[in-house]
Amino acid sequence: MTKCWRKPLDTAVTEAPRGKIHIIKERCKGCSFCVEFCPKKVLELSSHYNAKGYNLPEVKNPEACIACDLCTIICPDFAIYCEVEKKKPTTGKKLKQTKKNVRS
C-alpha cells in the first residue's frame, strides 16, 4: 500500500514537516477513524476512557507524524488535530516550499 513508484528526487534536500497531535478527550467518541487511517500509524487506541466511557486514542509514535492533517479532517467529533511544529529551516528555501505545499 505505501510503496512509492520511485524515490522522490529531492529527498536529500527536503525534510517532511513534523506535527504535534492534540486530543480533546471529552469530545472523542472512540470511533478510531484517526487510528485506522493515519498513514504513519502514529496513533493507537489506548486503554483509557473518557467520562462518557469512550475508548480514547493516544499518540504512540510521535516522531513519525508528518503533519498531513488527515486525522484533523477525518475526525467526526472535532476531537483531534495536528499542529505543525515550527522548526528552524535547516535546508533553506526547499524546506519552506515543501511545508507550504503540504499544508495548502
Partner 1 sequence: MTEEQIALNHPMDAYLREDRIPHIWCSGCGLGTCLNTFLHALVKSKIDMKKTSIVSGIGCTGRVAGYVKLDSFHTTHGRPIPFATGLKLANPKLKVIVFSGDGDLISIGGNHFIHAARRNVDLTVICVNNFTYGMTGGQGGPTTPITARSATTPFGNFEFPFNLAYLAAGSGAVYVARWTMLDVRRLENSILHALNKKGFTFVEIISPCPTLYGRMNKLGNGLKMIKDYQKNTIINHKVDLKDAALGMDGKIVVGNFVDIQRPTFTEVLYDHIAKPQPNKKEDIPKEERKKIEHHA
**CB nearer to ligand SF4: pick between 31 and 92:** 31
Quick one: what does residue 62 bind among ligand SF4, partner 1, none, with the CB cut-off 5 to 8 Å set by partner type?
none
* Window 75-94: residues binding ligand SF4 (CB under 6 A): 75-77, 79-80, 82
Structural element, H or E, at residue 93: helix 93-103
In terms of Cβ atoms closer than 10 Å to its own Cβ (0-12, 13-18, 19+), residue 69 is middle
* Total of residues contacting partner 1 (CB under 8 A): 23
Say which amino acid occupies 61: N
18 φ/ψ sector (left φ>0, alpha ψ -120 to 50, else beta): beta
Q: Which stretch binds ligand SF4 (CB under 6 A): 9-17, 73-81, 90-98?
A: 73-81
Say which amino acid occupies 68: C
Site mask for partner 1 (CB under 8 A), range 44-83, x = bound: ----------x---------------x-xxxxxxxx-x--
